[in-house]
Structure 1
Amino acid sequence: MNTKAEANTWADTPFALLNIPGQPNTPACTNAGVLSVATEMANVHNVLLRALNSVYHQAPFIQLPGDVADLMLYVTAWADTVHHHHSLEEAMFFPKIEQIAREAGIDGWEGMMGGNVDQHHEFEPKIAGLVKWAEEVGAGQRTYDAAELKSLIDEFAPVLTQHLHDEIHTLIRLEDCDGEKIKQAMKDVADEGAKTADPNLVIPLVLGCVDRSYPGSGNFPPVPFFIPYLNAYWFTRKHKGAWRFNPSDHWGNPRPLHSPELRNCIYNYAQDPRDVRLIHKPTQQHEQTNKTQPQFFGLTQVCRQLRSEYLPMYMAQTKVHIQCQDSLSYIKTFILPTGTDPKQARGNLIVQLPDQWYESRGASPPQKDIIEAINLCRSAPQVNIAFALRDVPLSQSRFASRRMQDILRDLEQPEATPELHDFIQNSVEHVECWIEMRLDDSSYHLNDYVHVVFNVDEEWKDCLTDG
């Protein structure tokens, strides 16, 4: 964190937690059954608030695609838990409470939980909007924006917080009711929740947002002793990355909030500012020409988590020079491997184009097709592609490079020539580009020519033939 104050920030703010009934400075209740239910419900509500506070505090520091995906899953898991909790209240718990209050002769028993239901209906559509936003971000349809996320939370959090506090006061009003019946109603709801909730989402979220040091929370949740262990080694496995945003560990012990900005600072410190130059070899396609070790790429080979965290930063900050014939395999291996969303891909790739001088040395002609690199310019906004002339004699590169910049700028920048890129995307199979050095018959000077050839698909070939 950046300051001492931020370092002490935890998930008990900004949305205020509840004081647990039975603790000092809370409404008195002499009915043991009612007090037990109110205590358990207050602890459940604090779990929901801690998770929301955790998102609110950590959202501004999330940058990497893997972190964003995990946070979006955490947000939707929280929202699903809230919806599941309130749906069971409306369907099972509140009707039973009103029936028990009627049997006890409580004044105003009819509709006494109606105010809580009205609050549900006030904030639930806004939470649904948050879920829709998170799902679109997770699917790559929206760009993650921490300020927008916090703004969406601000729209419903005050009403939600007030509701979670008010509901406990409503339960305390049941002091003259049959406490055992109220406890049974609560148990029935808990049992139904255990049957219908996804244990891979609800259990890690709930146990990770408990604070056993909080007054009145030492024995919450009321589960067998082995459940936290089962959670730690089984239920958290499926969505492991999301639970780092929990404010507590698996056993309900508070821990510092996840600090990706500190981790990123360490990664940035390790980042090597030098460019990487890859050369083509028949036996080893990609090899660094710079033999000094290393470019810290080895950090991506340590474990899956480190790879998911560090690789996007490495790809975003490192310029890779690669020969044209290797560009397709490099893109498919490192920038757009199978299953990668182009909008989440990162990279800085400098493609060295072939030239006639290179081919005249007797080497086999290198692949000239650059359509994959061109398409990447269009589909992956966080990938920077540049085309460059490979190392050739000064007399050639001095003249060609100036024209190269003008000609290739249109291929590198889709926004500058959208019609050209639409044509390439829809009608072109291959794009070849190379440099030719030709002797001028009149001046006897060597001139350089940039060749760009579009190989169109069969439909266009027929149209051109008919024309």
Structure 2
Amino acid sequence: MASPTPLPWADQPYALLATPPQNAHSATICAYEMTMAHNLFIRSTNSILLQAPHISDSTTPATYNPDDVKDILYYTSAFLKTVDHHHHVEETVTFPLLAAVPGVPSGFLDPPVEQHRGFHDGVVELQMYCTKHLADADGWRWAEMKRIIDAFAPALMSHLTDEVEMLLKLEPLCESAAVWQCWQATEKAALNDARFSNLYDVFPCGLGSSDRSFEGGNKFPPAPAVLIYAVQYWGAKRCERPGAWRFCPSDFWGRPRELVFLREVREREEAKVAEQGATS
């Protein structure tokens, strides 16, 4: 799959999930939507891994900018909140409902829950690191933050793949209508759990990690235009760190763009070269 921009983009280093083939059974529809949701998380992870290494810390005072540090930390924190919200809905609504569907074997939903536990501690550690250094940017070090990410990201990525495959396995086991009822309940629960505060972090992160051009075009996430406008002109501008959203791989309408911070780094380097040429 070609990158949508000349610079490295958020489809690497972790590969995006290909959407599964669709048929009339709702299990394949659920798997498709789960794939699209999981790709949001993969793009966010990649955006952090690609851009954060170019942020100077306080040991290089000539290029250090604490706003850059705080912005990437706020963006990372929003990403972690988005993942946590997603898994909370799964564990409290989706999985219990699916487990009760006739034809679903006992223990069928245990593996994804166990996988959640496998990377939970790493997610919590990274969230604590973000909180700590939002208040103390001078102490932030990318090497330490990357160590935390590298410790849990492979388990997270495996889970994102396995969970889609688990949904596809439901097709021969149970009735389509029963699976669809569970999915509708999940969507309702996710919407009901959406707090106004999400306008300031979860929604900007999720929308800014979408790609509506992916695989020829899509309408995911199915956010109404009024919500996108509310995020763009209210929440994203009035949150604690409005600069955080330059780390998003897309705009809030799901249109891929150059990774803004990489572009900023390139422009700074070009300006430095031009300045040196003018003074030589």
Report TM bin, short chain.
0.7 to 0.9
Q: What is the CA distance between 1:216 and its match in structure 2? A: 6.7
Partners of 1:154 and 1:69 lie apart in 2 by 20
Contact 2:199 2:230 in 1 (8 A): no
Structure with the largest fraction of strand: 1
Q: Which amino acid aligns with 1:215?
A: E
Contact 1:37 1:182 in 2 (8 A): no
Alpha-carbon spacing, 1:133–1:183, altered in 2? closer, same or farther (3 Å): closer
Q: What is the CA distance between 1:82 and its match in structure 2? A: 0.9
Partners of 1:70 and 1:134 lie apart in 2 by 10
Partners of 1:197 and 1:167 lie apart in 2 by 28
Q: What is the CA distance between 1:195 and its match in structure 2? A: 4.0
Contact 2:208 2:251 in 1 (8 A): yes
Q: In the alignment, is residue 264 of structure 1 matched against residue 268 of structure 2? A: yes
Partners of 1:142 and 1:161 lie apart in 2 by 31
Q: What is the CA distance between 1:188 and its match in structure 2? A: 2.6
In structure 1, list runs of 5 or more residues that go unmatched. 1-5, 23-27, 273-467
Query: CA deviation digits over 1:377-404, x for unaligned, max 9?
Result: xxxxxxxxxxxxxxxxxxxxxxxxxxxx
* Residue 323 (structure 1) aligns with: none
Q: Which amino acid aligns with 1:20?
A: T
Query: CA deviation digits over 1:301-342, x for unaligned, max 9?
Result: xxxxxxxxxxxxxxxxxxxxxxxxxxxxxxxxxxxxxxxxxx
Partners of 2:179 and 2:95 lie apart in 1 by 15
Partners of 1:16 and 1:86 lie apart in 2 by 21
Determine what percentage of the aligned residue pairs are the same residue.
Answer: 36
Match of 1:161 among 154, 157, 172: 157
Q: What is the CA distance between 1:141 and its match in structure 2? A: 7.1
Q: What is the CA distance between 1:187 and its match in structure 2? A: 2.0
Partners of 1:148 and 1:267 lie apart in 2 by 30
* Residue 83 (structure 1) aligns with: 84
Q: Which amino acid aligns with 2:254?
A: G
Alpha-carbon spacing, 1:42–1:197, altered in 2? closer, same or farther (3 Å): farther
Query: CA deviation digits over 1:139-163, x for unaligned, max 9?
Result: 2176222222222211111100000
Q: What is the CA distance between 1:59 and its match in structure 2? A: 0.6
* Residue 310 (structure 1) aligns with: none
Query: CA deviation digits over 1:330-377, x for unaligned, max 9?
Result: xxxxxxxxxxxxxxxxxxxxxxxxxxxxxxxxxxxxxxxxxxxxxxxx
* Residue 37 (structure 1) aligns with: 30
Alpha-carbon spacing, 1:7–1:145, altered in 2? closer, same or farther (3 Å): farther
Q: What is the CA distance between 1:247 and its match in structure 2? A: 0.2
Match of 2:126 among 114, 130, 140: 130
Task: For 1:362-401, list aligned pairs within 5 A.
Answer: none
Task: For 1:218-257, list aligned pairs within 5 A.
Answer: 218-239=218-239, 240-257=242-259
Number of residue pairs aligned between Structure 1 and Structure 2: 256
Runs of 4 or more consecutive aligned structure 1 residues displaced over 6 Å after TM superposition: 269-272
Q: Which amino acid aligns with 1:231?
A: V
* Residue 54 (structure 2) aligns with: 61
* Residue 73 (structure 1) aligns with: 74
| Greater RCO, CA 8 A, separation 6+ | 2
Q: What is the CA distance between 1:179 and its match in structure 2? A: 3.7
Partners of 2:216 and 2:159 lie apart in 1 by 20
Contact 2:133 2:139 in 1 (8 A): yes
Structure with the largest fraction of helix: 2
* Residue 189 (structure 1) aligns with: 189
Give me the TM-score of the superposition, normalised by structure 2: 0.83
Q: What is the CA distance between 1:29 and its match in structure 2? A: 4.5
Contact 1:21 1:38 in 2 (8 A): yes
Partners of 2:122 and 2:225 lie apart in 1 by 37
Partners of 1:39 and 1:231 lie apart in 2 by 25
Contact 1:60 1:146 in 2 (8 A): yes
Q: What is the CA distance between 1:132 and its match in structure 2? A: 1.5
Q: In the alignment, is residue 116 of structure 1 matched against residue 112 of structure 2? A: yes
Contact 1:37 1:186 in 2 (8 A): no
Give me the TM-score of the superposition, normalised by structure 1: 0.51
* Residue 298 (structure 1) aligns with: none
Which structure: larger Rg? 1
Contact 1:20 1:216 in 2 (8 A): no
Helix, strand or coil for the counterpart of 1:19? coil
Query: CA deviation digits over 1:249-270, x for unaligned, max 9?
Result: 1211111112232243366579
Partners of 1:194 and 1:154 lie apart in 2 by 29
